[in-house]
Each structure stands twice: as C-alpha cells, then as structure tokens.
Amino acid sequence: MIPDFPLVYQEPLSLVVVSYSDLEAVALRSILEYFNYRVEIHWIGSRPQFLEVLKGNIPTNHYFVLSCHGDEKGIIVPDQEPVSTEDLSKIVQLPGRIVVNLGCLTGTEPITKAFLEGGCEAYIAPVNFIEGNAALLFAIHLFYFLAAKRTLSEAVQEACKHDDQCALFKLFLPAKT
C-alpha cells in the first residue's frame, strides 16, 4: 500500500551546511528527498566560500535552507571568524529566495534585516537559542506542510505548533512599499 502523504514534484531546494551541522543536514536531506524535493547540498568548507554563497555568486534555489549554528556574534564558521550582522548587511544578495535558517539567534532584527534587504522573498529563523533537534523537527514539519500545498505562512504556523522550541521560529517578510 502506498502511504497517503503529500509529495512535491521534484521542487529544487538548496541545503547550505555550515559548521558542525552535518548530521542535521544528512537527516534533513534524506527526509526532504523522501518528500520528493530535489535537494542540492552545499558543504561549506570555509568562511570565504560561505560569503560567496551569501553574495549569490554560487547558484542556489528558491528554497534555501541554512543548516548552521549562530550566537550573539552572528553565524558561526568553525575555526574562523563568525559572519557578523555587519558582514551580512554588506554582502547578502539572494533575490527571490525563501531562506530557512536553522541556527540559534538568527532571527534577530539585524540578521533578518540583512537577508530581507538582500532581496529575500521571505526569511524564517529562530529568535532565540533553540535546541538542535527542534530546529530539525521544525524544518521537517515546514516542508511537509509546504508539500501539502499550504501557503508559506500556513506552513510556518503549523510547524511552530509542535512545541515551545519550534515556536521560536518566525516568518519575516519584506516591508510592503
């Protein structure tokens, strides 16, 4: 018997993996491919490579999942200087992307502003420190509901309902002009 769950028709998705998030990325990729997303994974090996992705110089897809760690300094790159909010405000150029950032504290106002002013169609991130398993769970639920043809807003709302940790994720949209 074929399971009754939503499938997308090979929707392309970029999974950008920074830091020590490889196990999260492997689990997420497997599940997204099970949902029939076409996942293109970018293993980030250095800060300069990550900056090139954020500048838009390395091609990415409409859905852009950032599997990383964050703290008060910005997005952590192992053994290198973090990518700060100041860096992000100068370099992010991701027009038309829906960015889902799984790193702690990446939903702060300066980081959110950098991604939205860098052309993102939407930005989704946790506003505080989040337990790592909850970030993975949120992403799984989000893309499950998107595959079920929910709107982005509905999918985020549904994914946030799981528990208090998942509720730390917020959807940010550019200001209407």
Domains and CATH numbers, the chain: 22-172 (3.40.50.1460)
- Give this prediction's pTM: 0.93
Local confidence band at 3 (pLDDT 50, 70, 90 cut-offs): low
Q: How far is CA 148 from the centre of its chain?
A: 19
Mean pLDDT over 149-153 rounds to 95
Mean pLDDT over 85-93 rounds to 97
Q: Is 135 helix (H, G, I), strand (E, B) or coil?
A: helix
Q: Which residues of 89-125 are buried (b: 16+ CB within 10 A; e: fewer)?
A: eebbebeebbbbbbbbbbbbeebbbbbbebebebbbb
Local confidence band at 177 (pLDDT 50, 70, 90 cut-offs): low
In percent, the amount of the chain with pLDDT more than 70 equals 93
pLDDT in tens, 16-73: 999 776 688 999 999 999 988 999 999 999 999 999 999 999 999 999 999 999 999 9
Q: Are strands 122-126 and 98-101 parallel, antiparallel or unpaired?
A: parallel
Task: Give the C-alpha separation, 144 to 153, whole Å.
Answer: 13
Local confidence band at 175 (pLDDT 50, 70, 90 cut-offs): confident
